[in-house]
Amino acid sequence: MFEILKSFETKYGHLKKKGLTIEGLSLIDVKKKKHVIKISRPLVFDNRQLPKRFEGLDIKTNIKLTDEMPKEFKVDRTQPDWHKKEYIWAPERFVKYVNRCEKEIKAQLNSPLMTKTEILDALCFGNYEEHKQKSLALIKEGKLPAYSEN
For the residues 37-48, what does the mean pLDDT come to? 96
Instruction: Report yes or no on whether pTM surpasses 0.85.
Output: yes
- Mean pLDDT across the stretch 116-138? 96
Minimum mean pLDDT range among 34-48, 71-85, 136-150: 71-85
For residue 133, count other CB atoms closer than 10 A to its CB: 12
**Predicted local confidence at residue 57, as pLDDT:** 94
